[in-house]
Amino acid sequence: FVGLTIGIGGVLAAGVIAVSLHELSDNPARWGWTWSTMPDAFGEAPSTEGLVEDERVESAGMYQVSQVALDGSSMGAFAMVPLKGPLTFTGLDGRLPAGPGEVAVGEQTMSDLGVSIGGTVEATAPDGTSARTLTVVGTAVLPPTEDSNIDVGAVLTPDGLAAFDRSDLLESPVLTYPAGADV
């Protein structure tokens, strides 16, 4: 009976893992990837004019990544410049920022900083300049990078990110396609 119980438990655990993995791979917004593709720009971001006018593209935006320090902790800061159609980040609790004085953070960042929705954080550029107080308006799933996980970092509006030193700013076009499109 013990062997049978362990065997059934193993089969059920494998099924749960398989279903969870399938759900994550079929729904990339759950891990912060809300677009279909991110063309590799290899340095400078390409012109997006043709992409915006192309009817095969449902939505387009410029994904921006920089660094910001919240309450003294340096982390990735993300913003999305919408160019065509709806394109944003994945919000969890609360909402995504709507103005330059607001921020949504990853759940681990919220825990590490000891803040909650409605609280405030002191935001600076990584070198300590451009100090501003931001209101935490929600939590978000952040696209994973080489330097951070999906629950670490901050989402700002493009204007909010522009308020900080942007010498390290990286921009990449991101696109979504209509359902059934041949990517």
Per-residue pLDDT tens listing for the chain (183 residues): 888 788 888 887 777 776 655 555 555 555 455 656 666 655 555 566 777 777 877 888 888 888 899 998 888 898 988 888 887 888 888 999 999 999 999 999 999 999 999 999 999 987 778 889 999 999 998 877 676 677 889 999 999 998 886 677 888 787 778 777 776
Single pTM value for the model = 0.73
Q: What are 77's strand-pairing partners? A: 66, 154
The pLDDT assigned to 123 comes to 92
According to the model, what pLDDT value does residue 33 have?
A: 57
The closest of 72, 66, 43 to 161, measured between CA atoms, is 66
Residue type, 25: S
Residue at token pair 């550029």: 125
